[in-house]
Amino acid sequence: MPALAIHPDTPPQDAFEMLLRMIAESRQNIGQNFYTLGQALAYIKDNRLYEVGGFNTFFAFLRDARVDIAAPDAERFIAITEDPAFERQLSMGLSKMLELMKLPETTRSQILTQGAEVNGQHKDIQEMNLRELRQASQQIKREGKTRCDRCRRWVDAVKELDGHFYGAGGAHSCYDAELEERRSLSAGRIPAEQLDQVLETLKGAAPASASAAAEPALAWLPESLYQVYGQLIQDQNRGEISRESLQREQEMLRKLVHLCQTRLQEIQQLGKALAELES
């Protein structure tokens, strides 16, 4: 793709107006003109031509009605023009390029130059459709990583705890959070006999359906519902999963959902009342 044909002696005002027209024309069909659009934006930004148009910043220029391009999109268009690998692959289309721009440079370069395995078949970038490109990029990003059982993200390092793996190290702290949560549950542990009594109370008070509008608000709430539910899950994880244990948990969840829905309704009503008083 040739560089923009702007002579060095072109007056800044003329160059700005020409590029503004170029941007407006390119926006009519971004799918085909995205590279030209990126070149025009890059020239205006690098040469501070937006000041000629009366804008203090490049981002203020982007918000002008004649341009109307979101800053992240503008940066992506500019980045495409600055990467030689993209210039050699313009025929892949805008959708693929924007998808590639979301990837780290090393991953992007690997896909552009080497292709990737997709469903057991090696394909280069031109052979992949957009869905396959996303699949390939995910596979590459996950290489050498393990999925955290707490947040479900793929992370570089994990630690094992009772057969589960939690992200650890760097900015990932799921392992520490899991340990702290378990310590908290253990410290406030309810004796087994008392826990059974609490669960029986919940079972008796739980409505038949969490969405039943006619059900009265539930007034009973344990001092720490989180403690009760957390301890229940902790105990279940130590043994085998059974239909009885799942039904027991389901009853707890139905109770919790109903309590939360009731409280949300109260909050909304109180909010309306306060708004009326303040008006």
135 plus 28 within the same structural domain? yes
213 plus 267 within the same structural domain? yes
Q: What is the pLDDT of residue 236?
A: 59
In angstroms, the Cα distances linking 200 to 196, 206, 210, 244, 251 are 6, 10, 18, 14, 10
96 plus 128 within the same structural domain? yes
Considering 43-47, 111-115, 163-167, 209-213, the range whose residues carry the highest mean pLDDT is 43-47
260 plus 201 within the same structural domain? yes
Domain that holds residue 167: 154-183
Q: What is the pLDDT of residue 230?
A: 65
Q: What is the pLDDT of residue 243?
A: 78
Q: What is the pLDDT of residue 56?
A: 93
67-88 residue pLDDT tens: 999 898 888 888 888 877 776 6
Q: What angle do CA 114, 120, 124 make, to 5 degrees?
A: 25
Beta bridge partners of 147: 154
Number of domains in the chain: 3
Least confident of 65-74, 107-116, 222-231, 244-253: 222-231
Q: What is the pLDDT of residue 221?
A: 46
272 plus 244 within the same structural domain? yes
Does residue 270 belong to any structural domain of this protein?
yes
62 plus 100 within the same structural domain? yes
Q: Determine the Cα–Cα distance for residues 32 and 93; give it in Å rounded to an integer.
A: 8
76 plus 174 within the same structural domain? no
Q: What is the pLDDT of residue 276?
A: 80
29-68 residue pLDDT tens: 877 788 889 899 999 999 999 999 999 999 999 999 989 9
In this prediction, residue 217 has a pLDDT band, given cuts at 50, 70 and 90, of very low
Burial of 178 per CB tally in 10 Å (0-12, 13-18, 19+): buried
Q: What is the pLDDT of residue 196?
A: 67
What's the rounded mean pLDDT across residues 95-104? 79
Residue 121 has pLDDT above 70, yes or no: yes
In angstroms, the Cα distances linking 135 to 22, 99, 120, 152, 255 are 35, 11, 12, 17, 40
Write down the mean pLDDT value for the chain. 77
Q: Which of 115, 142, 169 marks a domain boundary?
A: 142
